[in-house]
Amino acid sequence: MKVLVTGATGFVGSRVVGRLREAGFDIRIASRAQQPLEGADDAVALPGADAPEEAFQALIRDVTHVVHCAALNNDSGAGGADFRAVNATLTGRLAQAAATRTAGRFIYLSSIRAVVGPGFSGTIDEATPPAPQCAYGRSKREGEIEMLKAFATAGRDGATALRLPPVYGDGMKGNLRGLMRLAATGLPLPAAALAAVRSLISQDAVAGAVTHLLTRPTSPRPIYILGDASPVAMSDIIAAFRRGYGRPTRLLPIPAWPFRLSATLLGRQASWQALVATQVCDVSLLASEGWMPETDTLGRLEELTRRAGQAR
């Protein structure tokens, strides 16, 4: 069986390709990037959202399954129209082609931002009502809707969205990359302001979930929440990064209120709320279906930082 993987040269997509190859799948990669992927004999350009229908039909010719990793992420600096074109319209058009011309499954890598904003505190599961708070989140939610509508219109099941928390691994960007850089400075940090608990997920765990859903005999559910087995505190993330760099932890018992007051005075309440929000992903649904989430998040973060330090 052949699997089309979009965004296959990206941060998560490249890891998905490797895991699927290990599982014995043939791979067609589609990417907007120009660089080749090692070992990729069947590589094509990913059509744009406004490409003719024939381009999407050619893309999925002889393909059984589709794994749609290509996206504009929330750290890209893109505007609402760009987010919607790539994350919603392109997803819908690809799903329409897959629903009518493939026999297998369609897996869309979505985000918890499709249902909650960065300031939300609580547990996120498959029943959490969608309430995206930013252009990126709205576009990912629209992508989910377009995908599921395409398969429903074709009278088919087999389409599923994986809502991901922040993903860590080699080459990560965004807030986790910022925390790693902060840890590298060795500056003392206030532990009380970093007490929030967050769910994260590793690149490998995402790739493992995709492989699991393509190899299990029963059809996937429309939505799954992913994450590592246990959430971790922001202070523990910083400590793990500093252990990886071989630096002292330097988390001081300073109260959080001066920082909260400063954020209020500077008009940065939303940023403060995002920093102190606790967001826990309930991964029990997919775990009950046989997927094994990562259990050593802090150990993986420490090792990730150690490799980054050695590469300098």
How far is Cα 183 from Cα 245, in angstroms, rounded to an integer? 8
Question: pTM for the whole thing?
Answer: 0.91
Q: Is 181 exposed, middle or buried (0-12, 13-18, 19+ CB in 10 A)?
A: exposed
Which pLDDT tens digit goes with each residue over 56-87?
999 999 999 999 999 888 766 667 888 999 89
For position 19, what pLDDT does the model report?
94
- Helix intervals (H) in the chain: 13-22, 53-59, 80-83, 90-101, 135-153, 174-185, 203-215, 234-245, 257-265, 269-276, 284-288, 297-311
Q: What is the CATH number of domain 2-168+201-227+283-288?
A: 3.40.50.720
DSSP state at residue 257? H
DSSP state at residue 48? P
> Which parts of the chain have pLDDT scores under 70?
33-41, 75-78, 257, 309-312
For position 102, what pLDDT does the model report?
92
Which pLDDT tens digit goes with each residue over 103-145?
999 999 999 999 999 989 999 999 999 999 999 999 999 999 9
For position 163, what pLDDT does the model report?
98
For position 173, what pLDDT does the model report?
82
DSSP state at residue 262? H
